[in-house]
Structures are given as C-alpha cells and as structure tokens.
Amino acid sequence: MDASALSNPRLQAMLEEEKRKAMANEIVAKLTDVCWDKCIIGSIGSSFSNSEASCLSNCAKRFLELKMLTMQGISSPRPCSSSEQPQEAPASFSQPLPKSPVPIKATPISAAFPTQQHEDESSDEYYKPFFKQKKPTSPKKAKRTRQAEKSNEANIKRRSIRRNLDNEFNLCSSSSNNPQESVEGIMMMFGSLRRRILQLDEKEDASRRADLKAGTLMMQNNLRINHHKMIGHVPGVEVGDIFFFRIEMCLVGLHAPAMGGIDYISSKNKDETLAVCIISSGGYENEDDDTDILVYTGQGGNSRHKEKHEQKLERGNLALMNSKNMKNQIRVVRSAQDPFCNSGKIYIYDGLYRIEDSWTDMAKNGFNVFKYKLRREPGQPYGISLWKMTEKWKANPATRDKAILLDMSSKVEKLPVRPGDL
C-alpha cells in the first residue's frame, strides 16, 4: 500500500471507526470486570436487587466519566502562559533532552480535570462503588460470627487431626486373639495418642487434659476391649498391673466409669444389681492400710459442688449390698502416690475380693455413710502389697533383711561386712 492510499479520507475514516470500536469493547470489558466484582457481593440470583442495580448504574457512570475526562486531558494539551514558550521536539530519540534550569510547573489532575457532582450524590462517602459496603453489625451478631468462625476453624483442625490419626487407628486396632496382646496394643495406642495431643496442646496452650482427650477419641472410634461388664478377672489384665490414668482402665474394660468409684451391672430388678469393680483412690474415708482387708466407704453425700448429705442405698451402694448377699467376687483397684509426681496417683489392680460385712457409720462431716468390709481372695499374685513393701524398703533399708544381707559374715566378724564395703 502506497502513501497516497493512506491519505485517502475514506480509509482514514474507516480506521478511526475501527479504533473507536476496539476502544469501546475494551471499556465494556473493563467496566464489566470492575463493577461486577465491586457490586455483586452475595449469591447470584435470577435478578439484581435494588442496591446491586443502583451500584452497577453508578459504577458505570463514574467509570465512563473518568474515562472521558482522561481522554480529553490527553488529547487537549494544557495551554501555555505568555511567559512560557513551547519547546521544539527533539530531532532524534537517541539525543538526550536538554536540562532546563527552570523547574517544571505541574498542575494537579484534580485541578486540571474537575469532576462534576451529581445532584443525587451528596459526597464520595455516600457512594463508594469500589469498596465493599457493609452495614454496621450489632455486638451480639459480631460475637456470634466470631464464635462461628472459631467453631469452623476448630472443626477443620479436628477433621485434619482425625484424618492423620485414621491410619494409626487402623494399624493399632486390636484384632489379636491373645487378650494380653490386645490390652498391650490398646495401652500403647493410648500412650502415643496422648503424647501427640500434648504436642498439639503445647502450641495452642489448651487447658483440657490430654489423657481425657485421647481416651474420648478412642472411645468414639470404638477402640477399646472387654466392652461387656463381667464378674471376675478381665481377660488380658493381670493382678499387679499399674495404670497411670483412670481412662486407661475404661479402655481395657477393667473399670467402666471414668469418674465414679463403683462399677456395677444394672438391672431392672434391684436385687440383681451387682458390683463388679471398685476403686479406692482416697476420695472417701477408706481404711486401706492392710493389704488383705479393705474397709470401703459408699458413694454419694460428699460432693464438692453440692451440699453434703447422708448417703442413700441406691446405685453403687445398693450394688455393693447385693454383692454382699450374693457373695460374688469384686475387682479391687487401689491407688498409691505417683513417685514421679507429688500431686499424681497411680492405680494398681489388686485382684478379687468379697464383701464380708457392711454397716452405717458417721463420717467426719457429721453425716451417715455406708461401710463395706472386703477381704482379698487367697492364692493371688502380689498386688498393692508388693508396692507397699517396696516403699517400706526405700524408707528404711534395714527392713530388707530377707532381700539383702546386711552382714555377709553372718556375725562371725566383730564388724558387720556390708555389700557396699567390698
């Protein structure tokens, strides 16, 4: 195409028309993106709401006005004053522009292109199409929103932890035919899960105990054994086994209640309600100095949060009374101080007992309580007696005469020969 064709008025008119169409399409696309994102906030329905329609209309007007003003400012140069003379354009772009000793006088855009205020628009604060307008929320609604957000975050985190633990649950699920191996598997899984929760709680500064969290999680996933209550020994649990948390006894089926001291088999017939296990943990006035005899105090009337009152012959107390009449065996768990924690306790399974006698007595608080005398069944392995013997040896080494020779010369020498002297 030669230069004469480019100077054709019709061709130039067509080119200008195509430029205007391209510019219009660009404006429409930009207008759609900006105004749609700023005005359509909620869910998309079949029609626009009044506020959305008004926002779209104002946004389009403002956008077009700004576009037209910008184009006018670019196409029409700022008029020069009488003292200022227009400079000639440089001959070549490669040559640097001469430095002018006179500072350049710049006019602000707002002064050069003032925008007209519409009658129905009081101020820029009234109409802000490029900002998300939100109505002020009440304190109650804001509090509910924050609580919902926290709950959602907790649920998301709980689900992620649950997914991470699913593989461990599947690997550690007790499917062994050996009851003792099943108990060991449950205890190992509880220990690993409790330690994992402790690590997470250290980051969050959580207040709830990790052992209760781990036990609850395992209960919810049915990761426990010996579900059904039974009289006598529990498969997989040996006399003398030590538990550091009460929830562990729930998981292996030794003692079902996580807080109560009396575990019993309930029945519609009150005479058939029988006790199967009790825990002597020091919450009541028990007499447990003797390793073969336990004087156990019934439950109730000693709550910290309620008024103290006399005990009633119901629930666990009734079950113990029926067990005395039926002479059935009862599992007994005795507690001792944790040697690694002064405020903690350990729980030792002491074997099977039977109730010999029962009576009512006045407690220190002045109210009547039930008392039950239990005697340990003979021929069982050592339980709490071994623990107490060890504590006695630690307190007084001279009592270990049957375990350690205090005089290796058997009194032949005038001075005793001790093992540590050699």
Range among 114-128, 238-252, 330-344 with highest mean pLDDT value: 238-252
Averaged pLDDT, 314-332? 93
What SS3 class is residue 289? Answer: coil
Range among 54-58, 169-173, 257-261 with highest mean pLDDT value: 257-261
C-alpha radius of gyration, the chain, whole number: 44
Among 131-135, 259-263, 295-299, 400-404, where is mean pLDDT lowest?
A: 131-135
Domain residue spans of the chain: 8-68+158-225, 230-381, 391-421
Cα(385)–Cα(420) distance, rounded to whole angstroms? 28
CA 95 from chain centre, in angstroms, equals 69
**Number of H-type helices and E-type strands within the chain:** 10, 7
Please tell me the CATH code under which domain 230-381 is placed.
2.30.280.10
pLDDT top residue among 223 and 124: 223
pLDDT of residue 320: 95
Q: Which helix (H) or strand (E) holds 395?
A: helix 384-395
Q: What percentage of the chain has pLDDT greater than the value 70?
A: 63
